[in-house]
Amino acid sequence: MKLWGGRFSGETSEIVKQFGDSFLFDCCLLPYDLRANAAHARMLGHCGILKEEDAEKIASTLEKILLEFEQGKVSPEGPFEDVHSFVEAKLAEDLPSLAGNLRIARSRNDLVAADLRLFLKEAIGQVARAVILLQEVLLCLARDHKDVALPGYTHLQHAQPILLSHHLLAYFQMLNRDLSRFAQALAETDVSPLGAGALGGTSWPIDPEYTAQLLGFSRVFENSLDAVSDRDFVIQFHGAASILAMHLSRFSEELILWSTAEFGFIELADEMCTGSSLMPQKKNPDLPELVRGKSGRVFGNLMGVLTVMKALPLAYNKDLQEDKESLFDTVDTVLGCLDAMRAVLSSVKVNKKRMETNLSPFLVATDLADELVKAGHKFSEAHELVGKMVQYCLDHGKRLTRLSPDELSRFSPNAGSLKPGKLTPRASLARKGSRGSTRMGSVEDGIKNAEVILRKNQKTWES
């Protein structure tokens, strides 16, 4: 069924149909298209544009089709240009005399924008709730391993000792900012475009606020041209999803490293791994590797829609057909990555002994420099002196924390009275008293704060 044709003298070429039809993928929007059309029909009746009984017949029939679709009795298939022509054809089967009036004061341009916004509102909620579930797992791990210490790294080199719980809470906070970005994306998506028409509005006495209310939108468009032309709300979601995917990818990389024989900090559950067809000993961390790999796919989808939009004149152009497949893919990919990470972390085994065995004495070098400052040195001098001590230890096979007073005095008269043996990694952790630090007390405060945040997030995003 075509929604146009009177101006044309011949049949549409098959290449136009094959290349231009979008029903193969925009059929995903069927439930949203049915809802949007039903709301539009009721608005037409509410405003006296259609008889109320006719408008209700149209809306009720559309809702019947929606119910049958949800029950698996209606399948979105057939030789249709797009989801909109499929819906009108299904409506015409039951209401042949009324179906054609559904297009009064409504274009596919504002309809598809409404469908996309309804879909994305729902998808953002799904993603946000999946993020919260992952936050729950991180918080549980942080509680269960509150006192486990391990080397902290910069440049993948030993830097300072930290608590594993501190490390996990860092990702909790990253995910929390991701939720804030999804909330912003939701706010920009929650705008009804219905009533904008093709681009310039309509001469019919419509009530867009009524339609928005029926569909659960919080507000209505301000400019009809903007309403049908832009997809910045889609881009905003892609941006939030890309940052989330980046965070998941970084964490995945650490899980992969930590599960190697060289690190041995964690062991992934057997049911979360795969093996090799050739090497019997292998236990491969496929899930975090795939999360790491799929982040690039999400980034690519963001760049794709940005490229589609970058040179489009107002208002609607067929290029906008390309906003959908990448959006559907990003939603599915991000949800899959969140599920995978939650499964991996829910079953991970932490090797506390291996983590703490790797706490090198050099991890307290900064603490030793701080002690030299207290003994009268400028920090720049202390930094230089401790650097020389480290080199001395490396050259002579010594431990920094076991240098004798005589050895320390070679570097500075003020250093002879220091007691580096008391500067253990655990002591270093206890010295960190600043806000948000890796000291046990600070981490306990961080866990309590995360619990408050989690409850707030659960309340905000409850389905």
Positions marked active-site: 155, 276
Q: Where would I find the H helices in 145-285?
A: 164-189, 208-215, 224-229, 232-258
Residue 149: its H or E element:
strand 149-154
Give the burial class of 54: count Cβ atoms within 10 A of its Cβ; 0-12 exposed, 13-18 middle, 19 or more buried: middle
Handedness of CA 406, 411, 417, 420 (dihedral sign): negative
C-alpha distances (whole Å) from 112 to each of 33, 289, 318, 433 are 8, 36, 12, 55
Residue type, 132: I
SS3 451: helix
Q: What is the distance of C-alpha 404 from the center of its chain?
A: 53
> What is the distance between the terminal CA atoms of the chain, rounded to a whole angstrom?
37
Secondary structure of 264-317 in HEC code, one letter for each residue: CCEECCHHHCECCCCCCCCCECHHHHHHHHHHHHHHHHHHHHHHHHCCCCCCCC
Q: What is the distance of C-alpha 79 from the center of its chain?
A: 35
Structure tokens at 416: 């002879």
Handedness of CA 103, 105, 107, 111 (dihedral sign): negative
Closest to 227 in 3D by CA, of 180, 191, 276? 191
Q: Is 398 left (phi over 0), alpha (psi -120 to 50) or beta?
A: beta
Count CB atoms within 10 A of the CB of residue 420.
24
Give the burial class of 278: count Cβ atoms within 10 A of its Cβ; 0-12 exposed, 13-18 middle, 19 or more buried: exposed
Q: Is 442 left (phi over 0), alpha (psi -120 to 50) or beta?
A: alpha
Strand intervals (E) in 6-65: none
Q: How many residues does the chain have?
A: 463
Residue 358 DSSP one-character state: T
